[in-house]
Structures are given as C-alpha cells and as structure tokens.
Amino acid sequence: MLSFFKDYKYFAIVFAILSIIIISIIFNILDVEKPLPVYQPAMVNSELVDTSLIDVRKYHKIADFSLINQNGETITQDDYKDKIYVADFFFTTCQTICPIMTDHMYYIQKELKNDADVMLLSHSVTPEIDSVAQLKKYALRKGVDDSKWNLVTGDKKQIYDLARKSYLAVKDYEFGGQYDMIHTENFMLIDKKRQIRGFYDGTNPNEITRLIADIKKLKKEYE
C-alpha cells in the first residue's frame, strides 16, 4: 500500500496543482462582467421598428438631429457628444404613463446629478402642442435640471423618424396621420458611440434600478 502511494505521489501533486489552476481560471471567467449588448433593429420588437430597418443586424446608430429644448435653444447630437444618455418619448398633456416616466427620469437625474458623463433627453410626440413655453412650464413643475436634461420639440416628421428609425421606441398609430405615433414606456440607454445599449420599462422602479446599474457598467467600458 505504501508503495502505491509513493508511486503516485508526484502524479497526485501535479493533479492537485492543475485542478487549482483550472478552478481559478473558471472562477475568473465567470466573475468577469459581460458588456452590455449593442442593440440592432433586428433584435427589437418589429412593431417598434420602421419597416426599412427590420432586417438590419449591425452598424445601427442614432441619427443626427436638430430640435428645440425648453429654453428655446437648438439641441443637436453635438450637445450629447461623448456622453452616455437616457432617452425617452412623452408628451406634457399625457395623464397615464408619462407622469410616472418623468418622475423616474427625475430620479435618475437626482442619482447621477454629479456625473458629467450622463445626460437625459426627452422627446415630445405632440410637438404641435408642446411649444417651448409649454415645455418650460412642464420642466419647472418637474424639477428639470437644464444643464443635464433636455425636453425637446420640433418638426414632427423628424421626431417620428428618430423614434422609429433611431431609438426604435414607438409604434405607428394606424388610424392617425402620417407621422402620428404611440409612444411606449421605454427608456433607451445610449452610449458615447450613439449606439443603443439597453431598453427599460420607464414605469417600473426595478427597471430604473437596473438602468442606473447598467449606466455604471457602461462607464467602465471607457475607463
């Protein structure tokens, strides 16, 4: 019996060392935080995507835009250059999900108020109603920080195209006009390359917690 153990002594030592190494490698692999996905139109509910983009599987980015904010200032993609931002679609006279979504946007603003890398962008889906004065009134009531959060209005076709072809966030309103849309509860997380990195239910507090965690995860990609 002693002879048996002597014969396999070195084998047992090597095997034990290899086992420790393999276990450590597996642990490290599992412990590595996976990056957030980069969403493409083909990955999203087809109801939210313009028919021209349904089969697009790569290179999708938020298009250039030029809209007017609550202070009458022109806001373009340059105002969000090298920023991570959360976008949504709303309208000031909405009495259903919009107040909840806006309150949750305010919560994100408060939680990340000192993070200059993160901004917010809310698009009106009823620009014919949401004038600059209307947006300003709404912004004051909701505690919007002008340096961090833009509520924007402008050309309806441009907002529709952004919603359907860039943010993949609204549904067609088949009984309305050409550019009428049904906005959803979606919040979209946009990275510094203007790519969509996440969708979240803007009415669900648990989803807002997940969104904030994902923002912090996304920031690590740039460290």
C-alpha distances in angstroms, 184 versus 66, 88, 101, 164, 169?
Answer: 22, 9, 10, 12, 7
Q: Are 98 and 90 contacting, i.e. CB atoms less than 8 angstroms apart?
A: yes
Residues 6+ apart with CB under 8 A from 100: 202, 203
Residue 104 among known ligand-binding residues: no
CA distance 127 to 92: 10
Residue 98 among known ligand-binding residues: yes
Return the structure tokens found at 102.
Answer: 């806006």
C-alpha distances in angstroms, 1 versus 9, 13, 15, 93, 188?
Answer: 12, 18, 20, 86, 68
| Biggest CA pair distance of the chain | 92
Q: What is the identity of the amino acid at 92?
A: T
Per DSSP bridges, beta strands 118-124 and 149-152 are parallel
Strand partners, 170: 183
Torsion angle of C-alpha atoms 106, 76, 162, 83, degrees rounded to 10: -50
Annotated binding-site residues read 94, 98, 183
Annotated binding-site residues for Cu cation read 94, 98, 183
